[in-house]
Amino acid sequence: MSDLGSDEFDDERSKLGEYEGERNEAGERHGAGKAVLPNGDGTYYFKSGARYVGDYYQNKKHGQGTFYYPDGSRYEGSWVEDLRKGHGVYTYVNGDTYDGEWLDHMRSNNIDDDEVVFEKDYI
């Protein structure tokens, strides 16, 4: 079954792109399927309560964007092929922030062409 947008939401969140795949008895997306996300700017709402607002390229988060996590934390910054990469700011639930470089979804204090150094205080 295919649809345009999402019948799971009845407001602006319904513009999620096209979906083709399996559904459960209630008609909800369930099982194997394919959702085509936008190229360019877009917003995607996850059933978990998470939300991504930003740039897409070839159906992946790519460019600048903000990811809002269900626990209230968020990441705002650079994305490359669905991964946090480059400069970004992660704001934790308690208000603490990490403002710096990211490499493949991990915090990194030092990035150069030959070596990646991860620094962390361990207790």
| Mean pLDDT value across the chain | 79
> What pLDDT is recorded for position 43?
87
Angle at 79 between CA 52 and CA 73, to 5 degrees: 45
Same domain, 85 and 115: yes
Same domain, 82 and 119: yes
Same domain, 30 and 46: no
Q: Where are any strands of DSSP class E within 24-118?
A: 29-36, 40-45, 51-57, 60-68, 74-80, 83-91, 97-103, 106-108, 110-111, 116-117
Lookup: tokens for 101: 């470089």
> What pLDDT is recorded for position 93?
95
For residue 106, pLDDT over 80 is answered with yes
Same domain, 60 and 17: no
pLDDT digits (tens, 9 = 90+) for 38-48: 678 888 888 89
Instruction: Residue 25: give the domain boundaries.
Output: 1-36
Q: Residue 106: which CATH number?
A: 2.20.110.10
For residue 105, pLDDT over 50 is answered with yes
Encoded amino acid at 100, one letter: G
> CA 62, CA 58: separation in Å to the nearest integer?
9
Average pLDDT over residues 79-105: 94
pLDDT top residue among 35 and 116: 35
For residue 15, pLDDT over 50 is answered with no
- Share of residues in the chain with pLDDT > 90 (%): 41
Number of domains in the chain: 2
pLDDT digits (tens, 9 = 90+) for 53-84: 999 988 889 999 999 999 999 999 999 999 99
Q: What pTM, to 2 d.p., does this model score?
A: 0.64
Non-local CB neighbours of 107 within 8 Å, separated by 6+ positions: 90, 98, 100, 101, 118, 120
> CA 87, CA 82: separation in Å to the nearest integer?
14
Same domain, 61 and 76: yes
